[in-house]
Structure 1
């Protein structure tokens, strides 16, 4: 009987021991962290492991964490009231590191201590290294820097749902091997953007993803950006967990993606064409400007933007920028390398985005032209400079080295062009003004003016009207300044001594008169001298109406208007003649090639200012020789994508001005 009792007692003791849950201590684990993990207090942990209260924990120790054999708590955590500290409801946590303090965390992650304690109710002086501190996700993403693993979770509260929680693992790899990785397509991605991000050609991208070209990009779809099956990993990662709080608790379901019949966690791998040795990082400080950063690190605006695309949204304190490393010593380039400075009014330093989109578009066209010429063997060194606005422009001049510059394209504004001309006066560096055109600029022999002078257009209109004049009354629709209208009137009165020329403010003022003998309406000549789009549309409507009342109405316009192409048949009855500084011949082989190259590079058709950027840069580069002697070929007539260039001297020993334009005739 005694033997049976002993056996029964031993069995009960064994069952009691087997019911206990144990945990093996891992590196960096603390009593506080372990107790949190298993839902017990530190006192309860020490009661289960009395020897550890005095001796402490060691890596590899097996400790008891539960008498009942319960698993670590996996029930859905209570929703933390984060609305006061985070806008999107997403939080994450950082792992407390040695020497980190509550004060240090509030400073680094830009959060008040009160808000920090709202997210971490148990935060107190007993917090230990390795503990997890909850923070708003956006603060972690902005300010974590090199802080180790940060886990992100959504803490939105919803009603009962049967849908299990979803877990997505996202790994950002800063220096992944270029022959590894998958990438998940984002909403605004395109072929060009992805190819450039992963240093691929579009052909290589399509080869890695058969069927992608015909199927197109779909947000959320994982595509291959290298030839390896393996996915690059990183020690610094952000794990994203979308946890729906509900009354029904479900086990988390991990989203997977299948690639070549191998399922794996979806991994976003961001690679760069630069290695860690190619660039350094810099955190933007309060008071920093684009200009000061470029000066400090001796980089160009183009280099800065190419490494930091988010700069298109503006410069903000706290941003981490990648800065391309420069050679320690600057040396002037020699030989046959053409050094070009492109000055565009991005307005980053001036916080003026008025011309930023225009500048970005101009830059895309200019870069396409530069790449095209480089393929033919031309050696180029192109530096992009933020010209700011007219108020801050002088600051940008320090970015130009007059001793090592062969051509300056830009700036846009007349006052800025004058400043550049004065700055390079001794060197006589050729300066190209894409838009500025004024008599103030005509005295500079090293200036090339792209915009055709309005007097050239008005002279041509006088010539065209004179050829069809048969005693008709001539109406000229003027803009507010009336400068163009007055020039045309003066020219017509000189050419046609008895002409009856009337300047009006609106197309509605153009009237037909009746012949007193026949009672029929007498045709008139209508001239548009206003480049306003609304005025042009009204002019077209009036000419069409006049043409329906009588035959023989003639119409002329100094400027192009979109309504002209929309009403070709009706305006042809008035034999409309209009002038254009730019027009693309979509049937030309050269034009087709350029448009195709632009679309392949940027996944869209070029805007007006992208076309101008290409035309200006391509025309200038094709006139250059290895010595930078652009003026030797300045007299050659050239037609680019949309613009005709015919340069003449504005005055003896003065600037060159473009007199090229197109005459469009609508014939019945």
Structure 2
């Protein structure tokens, strides 16, 4: 049978590209990346272009160099000759001719180290689709220089979905059961505190870029751990069957995770850093729960592109999803909460009042209202008629008013003074005994300038004259200038991010994290662990959340959690916080 002109052109094209590839692969060198080396430096050292380095090391198209990485260096002369051929009109004309005659697909030429999985991810299509369009391709995968058809409705951008199944027997059992022991909650003696500020400093001093690369590589590798059938994610319901969801509904807990990962971008911005840190903590929790026998199916969506995020919400079939963790930021949370009404949606950070009316939202960040209620109960345990000063900033005026009203409701004779001026806080002298009456000095502010004035003011007094109390923790409490005085006073404050590094559960989580990432977990990583571990510990084997499980109290690494409805049909809010008192 005579071959068509088009088939002959394709064969010629393939042979030509094989010849080009053989030129580029001949006499290649190997280079191990050292500290501080760059692609630019290597291109100058070996007299090859950065583009040629990326052609034979395609992983460098999506990330930077990693220390210890082994690179292939193309031979200078062969590369020059290959470029001469690749720029010829013959290839360009064949490509354009094929493209013009086939409106449903386009052609690509296989480069070194490309795989079917990688192509399906890069062009946002399925392995089966590529195989059906290229029936002559080897079952072992495409060969270097081979020309493949790719459907034109696919995208050359990085996929914004990832998938993985967590199940038992995948990890070393000795690392399981992080939260098995029930450590007693207490009003703390002054342990050596590693504050969030210290944690952030440690993170900044670590190799941040390597951490980002490791984390992003893990996310990219999630799909590889599933079968080919589970890799395909539909863009819209009417385009293709969602085989992955069909598999997920058989058993286990189905979780969707929304994170602004900014995949495919080389720069590291604030959103991406928060997301990758959060994911690293969540991954540690998922591994631990997996070791304990929980089977969890996780689907990750990149929410950094608003248009794609809305497209996901409109087109993805959430019918088999048991839980949604994220998005991390309020605007996206409101978007998804308005669209999806029946699936529990976990908010790790946002707890503002405009989220309260969504009955399926679970707010993990303890609201100021709840903190005030807990603080009021704690203050009144030992209250015996002392005068109270509440120092506040403009942002927390309503919170200060709420605290004043709660105290007055329970102790109608209490004298409670609201002030924005720290100098107003003074101990009253008893005119009969000449002794000073003890006062309560309550701080409701997160502004360092006001906190400093508060601390400067109260530390002029003696310990028998004042009881300092704060609604929030501040790193300034650990400042050497104030530390001794605050210990003598017995400063009392609430904290939702306290990590006791000497606690059994805390040490276990931190050690697991450091073993995996070679870093101390920062506050976002710890939140990722706490939120993921806690909510997945509350669901039953079918992925359901009962009211009794929501109300049960649990203690994680940085906070305690139990939930109540903010109103009859409103969101679930965390009603816990650690109450900490500094004592010698």
Change in CA separation of 1:323 and 1:443 when aligned onto 2, cut-off 3 Å? closer
The aligned residue for residue 332 of structure 2 is: 416
Matches within 5 A, 1:97-176: 137-142=49-54, 145=55
- Report the Cα distance in structure 2 between the residues aligned to 1:598 and 1:479, rounded to whole angstroms: 37
The aligned residue for residue 512 of structure 1 is: 427
The aligned residue for residue 50 of structure 1 is: none
Q: Is the 8 A contact 2:53 2:73 kept in 1?
A: no
The aligned residue for residue 525 of structure 1 is: 440
Q: Is the 8 A contact 2:211 2:517 kept in 1?
A: no
- Report the Cα distance in structure 2 between the residues aligned to 1:644 and 1:344, rounded to whole angstroms: 24
The aligned residue for residue 117 of structure 2 is: 278
**RCO higher in 1 or 2 (8 Å CA, sep ≥ 6)?**
2
The aligned residue for residue 663 of structure 1 is: 579
- Report the Cα distance in structure 2 between the residues aligned to 1:506 and 1:478, rounded to whole angstroms: 8
- Report the Cα distance in structure 2 between the residues aligned to 1:396 and 1:388, rounded to whole angstroms: 12
For each residue in 1:239-276, what CA deviation from the matched residue of structure 2 results, as whole angstroms up to 9, or x when unmatched?
A: 699xxxxxxxxxxxxxxxxxxxxxxxxxxxxxxxx983
Tell me the TM-score normalised to structure 1 length. Answer: 0.54
For each residue in 1:199-220, what CA deviation from the matched residue of structure 2 results, as whole angstroms up to 9, or x when unmatched?
A: xxxxxxxxxxxxxxxxxxxxxx
Change in CA separation of 1:601 and 1:486 when aligned onto 2, cut-off 3 Å? same
Tell me the TM-score normalised to structure 2 length. Answer: 0.61
Q: Is the 8 A contact 2:550 2:563 kept in 1?
A: yes
Change in CA separation of 1:139 and 1:405 when aligned onto 2, cut-off 3 Å? same
Change in CA separation of 1:431 and 1:282 when aligned onto 2, cut-off 3 Å? closer
The aligned residue for residue 366 of structure 2 is: 452
Greater Cα shift, 566-575 or 333-342: 566-575
For each residue in 1:382-438, what CA deviation from the matched residue of structure 2 results, as whole angstroms up to 9, or x when unmatched?
A: 12222237787534525743123211001123332222122222xx11111112223
The aligned residue for residue 300 of structure 1 is: 161
Greater Cα shift, 396-405 or 522-531: 396-405
In the alignment of these two chains, the number of paired residues is 410
Change in CA separation of 1:568 and 1:336 when aligned onto 2, cut-off 3 Å? farther
- Report the Cα distance in structure 2 between the residues aligned to 1:650 and 1:589, rounded to whole angstroms: 33
The aligned residue for residue 460 of structure 2 is: 545
Q: Which of 477, 487, 494 matches 1:564? A: 477
How far is the alpha carbon of 1:380 from its aligned partner?
1.9
Change in CA separation of 1:514 and 1:338 when aligned onto 2, cut-off 3 Å? same
Q: Is the 8 A contact 1:279 1:322 kept in 2?
A: no
For each residue in 1:485-517, what CA deviation from the matched residue of structure 2 results, as whole angstroms up to 9, or x when unmatched?
A: 111112223333333322222434423344444
- Report the Cα distance in structure 2 between the residues aligned to 1:646 and 1:578, rounded to whole angstroms: 20
- Report the Cα distance in structure 1 between the residues aligned to 2:565 and 2:368, rounded to whole angstroms: 15
Change in CA separation of 1:538 and 1:140 when aligned onto 2, cut-off 3 Å? farther
Change in CA separation of 1:382 and 1:283 when aligned onto 2, cut-off 3 Å? closer
Q: Which of 407, 411, 418 matches 1:503? A: 418
Runs of 5+ unmatched residues, structure 1:
1-27, 29-85, 94-133, 147-171, 175-185, 198-231, 242-273, 285-291, 304-308, 314-320
The aligned residue for residue 355 of structure 1 is: 271
Change in CA separation of 1:91 and 1:381 when aligned onto 2, cut-off 3 Å? same
- Report the Cα distance in structure 2 between the residues aligned to 1:505 and 1:430, rounded to whole angstroms: 40
SS in 1 for 2:389: strand
SS in 2 for 1:402: coil
Change in CA separation of 1:378 and 1:497 when aligned onto 2, cut-off 3 Å? closer
For each residue in 1:29-71, what CA deviation from the matched residue of structure 2 results, as whole angstroms up to 9, or x when unmatched?
A: xxxxxxxxxxxxxxxxxxxxxxxxxxxxxxxxxxxxxxxxxxx
Q: Which of 400, 404, 407 matches 1:489? A: 404
- Report the Cα distance in structure 1 between the residues aligned to 2:44 and 2:158, rounded to whole angstroms: 35
Q: Is the 8 A contact 1:406 1:628 kept in 2?
A: yes
SS in 1 for 2:512: helix
Matches within 5 A, 1:337-352: 337-347=252-262
- Report the Cα distance in structure 1 between the residues aligned to 2:210 and 2:406, rounded to whole angstroms: 53
SS in 2 for 1:630: coil
- Report the Cα distance in structure 2 between the residues aligned to 1:329 and 1:444, rounded to whole angstroms: 31
Runs of 5+ unmatched residues, structure 2:
1-18, 20-38, 78-112, 124-152, 165-208, 214-220, 233-239
Change in CA separation of 1:293 and 1:409 when aligned onto 2, cut-off 3 Å? farther
Q: Are 1:478 and 2:392 an aligned pair?
A: yes
Structure 1 or 2, whichever has the larger Rg, is 1
What's the C-alpha RMSD, in Å, of the aligned pairs? 4.2
How far is the alpha carbon of 1:377 from its aligned partner?
2.2
Q: Give the structure with the larger helix fraction.
A: 2
SS in 2 for 1:404: coil
Q: Is the 8 A contact 1:282 1:323 kept in 2?
A: no
